[in-house]
Amino acid sequence: MVRESLIKGLYLNRVLGRRDDQSGRLHWFIFLPALCVAFAQVGAVAEEVIETERALPIERLQFDDGKHCAASDVLFHNARVYTPIDSGVTPIKKAFTSETRRITPSERDLAARHYEIASYKAIAIKDGTFVFVGSDREAEAWRCGTSQVIDLEGATVFPGFTDSHQHLEGVGRRTKTLSLFGNTSLKETVSQIRDWSEQIPEGGWVMGRGWIEREWRDEQRFLTRWDVDSFTESKPLYMPRADGVSALVNSKALALAGINRDTPDPEGGKFDRDAEGELTGYVLGRAMDPFRAILPSETDAYLKDNLLRGMQANAALGWTATHDAGMSWRQLGLLHDLHQDGKMAHRVYVAVPIAEAEPLMEQGPDQTEDGWISLNAIKVFIDGTLGSRGAALLKPYADADHNGFMNRTAKDELMPVLEGALRQGLQVMTHVIGDRAVRTTLDWYQEAWNTLPRTQWAKHDLRWRLEHAQILPKEDQERIASMKVTLSMQPSHAIGDLNFAPARLGQDRLATAYPWQPLLKQGIPIVAGSDAPVEVGDPRIEFFAAITRTRLDGSSGQGWHPEFAVSRQDSLRMLTIWPAYSAFQEGYRGSIEVGKRADLSVFDTDFMTADPAKILEAKTIMTMVDGRITYAQPLLQKRLENGQ
């Protein structure tokens, strides 16, 4: 409803020049200065960026002195502004269009995949909406009618960045629990766990997250209970690996959960065992459930604070929106409380986990009136992760005698949910990593589409997604394109996983692993995310990884396929307009265009031209959502407070 009203009001609230009262003709001379368009090549990239000085529709105010001024709340100038623009409409035609044309789902789908990148110098915002985008010269017309003029001193401005796969509560939780991210050795990791456990009282749970053996330089193996038992004999321990779908538990936790060497592996999970059949304490998939069930209960206040901390951390990094891939109804209720309290720091697009999908299938999509919280999707889980050897492969792992596991969600559980999603117009977001999981899920999607008559679908523009989709045989890439399935992929996963992927997959299968560029060439939109707290959750890292396909130090290895990296323009689309498209929000966000909501990510470094290493050093200058600043660099914050 909000999106529709915004689209309908796009030009109704704008005065396109002055019309003759009798003839209704538009006096086009008002816009003649807008017709200058120049083209420039940005940096060492192959794709053009449109550099334009076009004036867009403005609202004029008549002051007592007879001077015409353009009205806005704030004018930003002296900036480098980059944004996708709809290449299906020329800039001049777009500027003078007085109403939006209804487009078919197929046209909308095509437009979302073919956005050119334009460059400007100035932006004006009124009532949370972009009312002007153009050159510094044209911006002069806005100075006398604006409440505040801000010189961005050459900062780089992008449409608000979206993390298209994140777990918000986990991001906030990470700020106040033991974080094992960044450790470079097993020894260092165990030492940190020991130090943390010393402050936990007898009988209390030792908890943390983020260990990842692929980064260790001494031993690259999974943690076991024998690594930690000596100092946690009286304290149960539960520490998920960075991927979040496997964990370390100690002997005390195994005893409390009633798990022993005779306990069978659950469907969709595994209790790891050594050569003698002894439990190692490493548990995968649904084998984590017995331990989750006995963890201490958490108060609403604790979870609510985690959500708030997560949003604040995201805003400080430049995120203006996240797609939460599996938020419980309890967390969603607490998020609504924060919204009611005026404490939201960015937009959240929510998918509830399949285990809690029934209420959503009864009520259908929902969102707050201001569009800050949107509930429109169901999160499904199929296989595990590549690092834990839980990803479901068509052929066995190169370094193990099995091919992973499926059925974290069984088919008989999934098919009624897919049908319910079709009936209610809900999006489906499915965790698949291995090629077997991808192929099977595509089969199930197609079966659901074929089974339910289309007359019973709520809509035909589905935009169903595959989350992660790391190993994609060419025949399945073609199916994804023909089925118009959107891929939600995490660039940082690739540059981390490629440290061990050759061992897991062998060189042949690497030719279809994380194949971003081949996918884009087939017209498949990719929405980029971080999967935080699995990864750091930093847009600088995601942009860097997408355009370089190297480790953060610039190095790579055999089989990394650098030709699969994307252009800077595509990387920008992956963080802006394509995420908006995948959330059915491209009508009001995802680009800096007149009539769209004012979401901005501002940095001190030009991602489109800078040396890639410099992108990692960039500082966030400002984050804006709906025209409201949710983060500002201290110096800018002081200037804003002083009205400068």
CATH assignment of 178-292?
3.10.310.70
In the predicted structure, residue 13 carries a pLDDT above the cut 60: no
pTM: 0.82
In the predicted structure, residue 34 carries a pLDDT above the cut 80: no
pLDDT at 173: 92
H helices of 278-328, in order, are: 289-292, 300-317
In the predicted structure, residue 279 carries a pLDDT above the cut 90: yes
In the predicted structure, residue 301 carries a pLDDT above the cut 70: yes
Residue intervals of the chain classified under CATH 3.10.310.70 are 178-292
pLDDT at 284: 93
251 touches 238 (CB < 8 A):
no
Phi, psi torsion values for 143, nearest 5 degrees = -60, -45
Does residue 107 or residue 481 have the better pLDDT?
A: 481
Phi, psi torsion values for 603, nearest 5 degrees = -130, 165
CA distance 193 to 197: 6
pLDDT at 150: 94
Residue intervals of the chain classified under CATH 2.30.40.10 are 2-160+630-641
Q: Match 């610039």 to its residue by tokens.
A: 554
CA distance 418 to 426: 9
In the predicted structure, residue 582 carries a pLDDT above the cut 90: yes
**What tens digit of pLDDT does each residue of 41-89 get?**
333 334 556 655 444 444 444 334 445 677 899 999 999 999 998 765 4
CA distance 111 to 69: 34
Strand intervals (E) in 15-92: 37-40, 49-52, 60-62, 68-70, 72-77, 80-86
pLDDT at 253: 97
Q: What is the mean pLDDT of residues 572-593?
A: 96
pLDDT at 275: 93
In the predicted structure, residue 98 carries a pLDDT above the cut 90: no
pLDDT at 643: 65
In the predicted structure, residue 293 carries a pLDDT above the cut 50: yes
Report percent pLDDT > 90 for the chain: 75
Beta strands at 319-325 and 347-353: parallel, antiparallel or unpaired: parallel
**What tens digit of pLDDT does each residue of 503-555 get?**
999 999 999 999 999 999 999 999 999 999 999 999 999 999 999 999 999 99
pLDDT at 644: 61
CA distance 562 to 543: 15
Label residue 369 by pLDDT band (50, 70, 90): very high
The answer regarding whether domain 2-160+630-641 maps to CATH 3.40.50.720 reads no
pLDDT at 23: 33
Buried residues in 30-58 as b, exposed as e (16+ CB within 10 A):
ebeebeeeeeeebeebeeebbbbbbbbbb
Label residue 24 by pLDDT band (50, 70, 90): very low
CA distance 579 to 253: 40
pLDDT at 335: 98
DSSP 19: B
In the predicted structure, residue 19 carries a pLDDT above the cut 90: no
Does residue 387 or residue 423 have the better pLDDT?
A: 423
Cβ neighbours for 164, distance < 8 A, ≥ 6 positions apart: 322, 323, 488, 527, 528, 529, 579, 582
CA distance 70 to 67: 10
Q: What is the mean pLDDT of residues 116-140?
A: 95
pLDDT at 9: 33
In the predicted structure, residue 100 carries a pLDDT above the cut 90: no
pLDDT at 55: 40
DSSP 103: -
Q: What is the mean pLDDT of residues 101-126?
A: 68
pLDDT at 642: 72
pLDDT at 68: 63
Report the mean per-residue pLDDT for the chain. 86
Phi, psi torsion values for 293, nearest 5 degrees = -65, -20
Q: What is the mean pLDDT of residues 181-209?
A: 93
CA distance 462 to 73: 37
Q: What is the mean pLDDT of residues 30-45?
A: 31
pLDDT at 86: 78
In the predicted structure, residue 296 carries a pLDDT above the cut 70: yes
User: Which range, 54-68, 245-259, 492-506, has the best average confidence (pLDDT)?
Assistant: 245-259
In the predicted structure, residue 205 carries a pLDDT above the cut 60: yes
Range with the lowest mean pLDDT among 52-56, 243-247, 432-436, 478-482?
A: 52-56
CA distance 531 to 210: 12
pLDDT at 36: 32
